[in-house]
Amino acid sequence: MSSFSPNEMMTIAASRALKNEDVCFVGIGAPSAACNVARLTHAPDITLIYESGTIGTAPDVLPLSIGDGELCDTAVTTVSVPEMFRYWLQGGRVTIGFLGAAQLDKFGNINTTVIGDYANPKTRLPGGGGAPEIAISSGEIYITMAQSKRGMVEKIDFFTSFGHGEGGDHRQRLGIDTKGPTLLITDLAIWKPDEITKEFTVVLLHPGVTREQVQESCGWTVKFAEEMDTTPAPTERELKTLRDLQARTKAAHEGAGEGKAAYR
């Protein structure tokens, strides 16, 4: 068995959550890597949708942004952004929305807008983009992020994308009929919301990770499932697929001699 990094474990664990029949609205970064590993391994028929309007895209390298030409070049079709959101997303045709977060709370609420006070922030982040709509209109939401006390906080500084709000039936009380966040994959563990409270609870620890490590890198008091198990380690095929994808991406974005064309 090859050695692997926490980030590789996170990406591969996230990819395993996707099914062949899913229609997945993909965020840039870690979600994009996970979705494309799934497409290149166990879910070849998954439909990947990016915010710019590309449907059924199959990028050879990971995109730098939603406007990366690689997405349009490899898509089955490209539609306008209004059509993407109104017909595909708000029309209930997306089964999974895959999002990242700068800040996340225990109920799956996401901040990608500002760190600190909104009027006078310490850091101004990229903003919500389409994530707020993805969070309420996708059938369910998967979140992936590296754990840190700075990122996983008791209270987020700004509500960019609504998760389970204050917990419990908050989504239903607001008239939101989609499931919301159903899975959180970090570089240390896999979390699922409690059925009643909707608070994220650790259900699997990645290989070699302890409960203490999970708690030390989380800003709220972590709850663990009564029956804990270990996430299966990445297979040789999964690691090779991810590493080859990252190598192609690095070569293409650095403008290396071979570039993307050599991998077509």
Distance CA 112, CA 168 (A): 23
Q: 261 pLDDT exceeds 70?
A: no
User: Is residue 27, in this structure, part of any structural domain at all?
Assistant: yes
Domain of 98 in residue numbering reads as 6-263
User: Is residue 35, in this structure, part of any structural domain at all?
Assistant: yes
What b/e sequence results for 17-52 when a residue is b if at least 16 CB atoms lie within 10 Å of its CB, and e otherwise?
bbeeebbbbbbbebbbbbbbbbbbbebeebbbbbbb
Residue-level pLDDT at 27? 81
Helix (H) or strand (E) holding 33: helix 30-40
Beta carbons of 175 and 136 less than 8 angstroms apart: no
Beta carbons of 48 and 57 less than 8 angstroms apart: yes
Distance CA 241, CA 16 (A): 13
Mean pLDDT of 117-130: 93
Q: Which residue has the higher pLDDT, 263 or 160?
A: 160
Chain segment 191-247, per-residue pLDDT in tens: 999 999 999 999 999 999 999 999 999 999 999 999 999 999 999 999 999 999 999
Chain segment 27-47, per-residue pLDDT in tens: 888 889 999 999 999 999 999
User: Is residue 92, in this structure, part of any structural domain at all?
Assistant: yes
Q: 260 pLDDT exceeds 80?
A: no
Q: In this structure, what CATH number is given to the domain that contains residue 35?
A: 3.40.1080.10
Chain segment 87-121, per-residue pLDDT in tens: 999 999 999 999 999 999 999 999 999 999 999 99
User: Is residue 126, in this structure, part of any structural domain at all?
Assistant: yes
User: Is residue 1, in this structure, part of any structural domain at all?
Assistant: no
Q: 2 pLDDT exceeds 80?
A: no
Residue-level pLDDT at 3? 93
Q: How many domains does the chain have?
A: 1
Overall pTM surpassing 0.75 (yes/no): yes
Question: Per-residue confidence at 259, pLDDT binned at 50, 70, 90?
Answer: very low
Q: 257 pLDDT exceeds 90?
A: no
Cα angle vertex 260, ends 255, 264, to 5°?
165
Beta carbons of 50 and 63 less than 8 angstroms apart: yes
Residue-level pLDDT at 258? 47
Q: Catalytic residue positions?
A: 51
Beta carbons of 170 and 132 less than 8 angstroms apart: no
